[in-house]
Amino acid sequence: MQEQKNNFKIIADRKNARMLLPNMLTLFGVCIGLTSIRFALDGKFEYAIIAIIFAALIDGLDGRIARLIKGTSKVGKELDSLTDMISFGVAPAFIMYFWKLNELGKFGWLLSLVYVICVALRLARFNINSNQEPSWRDNFFEGVPSPAGGILVLTPLIYSLSGLSFFQINYNVIVPIFFITTSFLLISKFPSYSFKKIVIQRKATIFLLFGIVLFFGLLLIYTFNIIAISSLIYLTLLPISFFHYQKLKKQNQNEKIQDSDDDLEDVL
């Protein structure tokens, strides 16, 4: 009996160890998000942006690692939402307030509050909808995800740091527009690509790896240029994802109608 108890304890410890790694990554993301606020307070907006990018990368990894090592847990799920709230809600709002929104007075602070509230509402809705049965809709988010929203509101600052000069920008106008638009996209039902279930053919794997290495290589050399261009590409993908979603929705509705017609008995 004593040996059986010891074996049971060892198995339990292994399970706890599997859950520990992704949760540690998530907590590390919280620290990075809070550190970005510190950088913004010191006026080091370049480091603040880089910290948010690192937080986004960690946010994309911790869940996948948890599923890979079978270390998912309810605590990890709630912890991930709290991390997103800080790293992609509170931190971007403070960064942009210290950079430009403080020049707008009370209206700038109101925009920050509205954005953070929309991030909280978006995360609450995501937690509720994440327990639904798998379907073709899993390829799309309902609204823009919080990491993308956090980077979108930072786009004017990223553009100013990139040195790109495609067109002149009045930041006192553009920044509020980005805040209002992003806040709406967060709480709306606008479909956006989730990129979670992309199927890559084995022949194309080598090209995918080359593309990833090339992207991160360029990111290290032309950091803010690549981030700014990536943000603009994501903005162009939003209308594409909307029309793609409508097309798939129409196809699935037609298939359901056809299936229901096939189930009808011919009584004539």
What are 171-223's pLDDT values in tens digits? 889 999 999 999 999 999 888 888 766 666 777 778 878 888 998 898 888 88
How would residue 262 be classed by pLDDT, with cut points 50, 70 and 90? very low
For residue 12, the model assigns a pLDDT of: 47
Q: Domain holding 105: CATH number? A: 1.20.120
Tokens of 14: 């292994």
What are 139-157's pLDDT values in tens digits? 788 889 999 999 999 999 9
Distances in Å between the Cα of 151 and the Cα atoms of 65, 86, 132, 248 are 23, 13, 27, 28
Burial 125-160 (b: 16+ CB within 10 A, else e): ebeeeeeeeeeebebbbbbbbbbbbbbbbbbbbbbb
The more confidently predicted of residues 92 and 75 is 92
Instruction: Note whether residue 57 is domain-resident.
Output: yes
Tokens of 177: 């527009």
Instruction: Note whether residue 266 is domain-resident.
Output: no
Per residue, the 3-state secondary structure of the chain, as one string, reads: CHHHHHHHHHHHHHHHHHHHHHHHHHHHHHHHHHHHHHHHHCCCHHHHHHHHHHHHHHHHHHHHHHHHCCCCCHHHHHHHHHHHHHHHHHHHHHHHHHHCHHHHCHHHHHHHHHHHHHHHHHHHHHHHHCCCCCCHHHHEEECCCHHHHHHHHCHHHHHHHHCCCCCCCCHHHHHHHHHHHHHHHHHCCCEEECCCCCCCCHHHHHHHHHHHHHHHHHHHHCHHHHHHHHHHHHHHHHHHHHHHHHHHHHHHHHHHHHHHHHHCCCCC
Instruction: Note whether residue 157 is domain-resident.
Output: yes
What are 155-172's pLDDT values in tens digits? 999 999 887 776 778 888
The neighbour count for residue 198, using CB atoms within 10 Å, is 9
For residue 68, the model assigns a pLDDT of: 75
Instruction: Note whether residue 267 is domain-resident.
Output: no
What are 10-24's pLDDT values in tens digits? 444 555 666 777 778
Residue range(s) defining the domain that contains residue 63: 2-129+136-256
Instruction: Note whether residue 207 is domain-resident.
Output: yes
Instruction: Note whether residue 21 is domain-resident.
Output: yes
Task: Tell whether the model's pLDDT for residue 118 goes beyond 70.
Answer: yes
Instruction: Note whether residue 38 is domain-resident.
Output: yes
Identity of the amino acid at 205: T
Of 88-92, 126-130, 196-200, the range with the lowest mean pLDDT is: 196-200
Which residues make Cβ contacts (< 8 Å) with residue 18, sequence separation at least 6? 69, 70, 71
Instruction: Note whether residue 117 is domain-resident.
Output: yes
Average of per-residue pLDDT across 119-128: 87
Which residues make Cβ contacts (< 8 Å) with residue 161, sequence separation at least 6? 45, 46, 49, 224
Task: Tell whether the model's pLDDT for residue 50 goes beyond 90.
Answer: yes
Based on the structure, what is the number of domains in the chain? 1
